[in-house]
Amino acid sequence: MENSSDQKPTIMITNDDGIDAPGLRALARVLVSTNRYVVLVCAPDSEKSAVSHSITWRHPVAARRTHVDGAIAYAISGTPVDCTSLGISQALFPSVPDLVLSGINMGSNCGYHIVYSGTVGGAREAFFYGVPSVSISYKWVGGKSSIQDYTLAAEACLPIINALLAEIKNQTYPEKCFLNIDLPTDVANHKGYKLTKQGKSIFNMGWRQVTSETQGGKMLSTMTMETDSAAQTETDTSTALQDHLLFKREVFFFFFFSFMMDCDKDIFLYWGFEADAKAVVKGFHIDDPDTDWQYLQEGYITVTPLAALSNAEADCQAYYNGWLESVSEHVSSSAL
């Protein structure tokens, strides 16, 4: 992983939207255009959104050489984690990359959605094996965003990428975390970088019975690609056979009450809501003002350090310590 002063650092790109996704292509193009890095691409051959940290175990994965200008690129018949694992293993490429970038994802990855995200999974896998990594997501909004925004997002990340590579070269890079970056919809007019922490935001997801698989559609982003409507409407099934029922997830774009009270009528209408906020109080929540989602909504580029472990809150640890002791005592007394 170490480079001498006359060698270019190596960056490997993966994602979960697939190797042909505009976000990945824009990131590769921007990196190549700087002429400062050796760029490798190892990404899924098709969309693998919301697969979290899943891996291919029982079957081999195929690696197909493909064209990405200025880069050495392979399309992989596996998950984002498979791609990262293979890409840093030295089985596919001759050396371990200095930095792994996963993205740019179509849709933000904040709060609890980080758990679902294949984009974050790709970066987390590199972290597991001691390779510095960053997951990158752009808050795409239908009707507002354009393909060019991915290029602007990639350019906005360059200062962070260069600074990380300097830390890696100087051997001062912190090895106990990796970074998750989210870029706001109006990335051209972002308010700067903001260090944040992972919040507890989550969209309220339900299920709707549908008549055929073709009505389900395709979720284009990991979790939060926003559209012009509050939810994708689908035809209800009234006469489905009880031994063969089809259900499709649907995402309700509702927000926590206190957040809604700060919004004006236009934002409700944009998301397809009635102007009365009290009628739509459920689903999405924001735990405090220092979190990733909150600052992303305010127009900042959020930079959130993440780790692999999900430790419980201290009060939960204390509760279960006493609880488990009581269980043990009960088992002991029952055995008498």
The pLDDT of residue 256 is above 50: no
CA–CA separation, 105 and 288 (whole Å): 25
> pLDDT band at residue 213, thresholds of 50, 70 and 90?
low
Better-scored residue on pLDDT, 278 or 123: 123
Domain for residue 98, yes or no?
yes
Residue keyed to tokens 């752009």 = 138
Last residue of one domain, picked from the residues 242, 264, 286: 286
CA–CA separation, 9 and 90 (whole Å): 16
Q: Is the peptide bond before 104 cis (omega within 30 degrees of 0)?
A: yes
The pLDDT of residue 222 is above 70: no
- Whether residues 190 and 227 share a domain: the answer is no
> pLDDT band at residue 183, thresholds of 50, 70 and 90?
very high
Residues 267, 230: contact at Cβ < 8 Å? no
Residues 300, 190: contact at Cβ < 8 Å? yes
The string of pLDDT tens digits covering residues 76-107 is 999 999 999 999 999 999 999 999 999 999 99
CA–CA separation, 73 and 158 (whole Å): 21
Domain for residue 295, yes or no?
no
Domain for residue 307, yes or no?
no
Domain that holds residue 222: 204-286
Q: How close are the terminal C-alpha atoms of the chain, in Å?
A: 60
How many other CB atoms are found less than 10 A from the CB of residue 335? 6
> pLDDT band at residue 259, thresholds of 50, 70 and 90?
very low
CA–CA separation, 50 and 136 (whole Å): 15
Average pLDDT, the chain: 83
- Whether residues 109 and 228 share a domain: the answer is no
Residues 150, 141: contact at Cβ < 8 Å? no
| Mean predicted confidence (pLDDT) in 299-323 | 89
Residue type, 87: G
Residue type, 43: A
Last residue of one domain, picked from the residues 170, 197, 224: 197
The string of pLDDT tens digits covering residues 5-47 is 569 999 999 999 999 999 999 999 999 999 999 999 999 999 9
CA–CA separation, 220 and 229 (whole Å): 15
- Whether residues 233 and 170 share a domain: the answer is no
- Whether residues 32 and 174 share a domain: the answer is yes
Better-scored residue on pLDDT, 213 or 30: 30
Residues 307, 174: contact at Cβ < 8 Å? no
Give burial (CB, 10 Å; 0-12/13-18/19+) of 331: exposed
Q: What total number of domains does the chain contain?
A: 2
Whole-number pLDDT of residue 207: 87
- Whether residues 150 and 223 share a domain: the answer is no
pTM score: 0.81
Whole-number pLDDT of residue 135: 98
Domain for residue 294, yes or no?
no
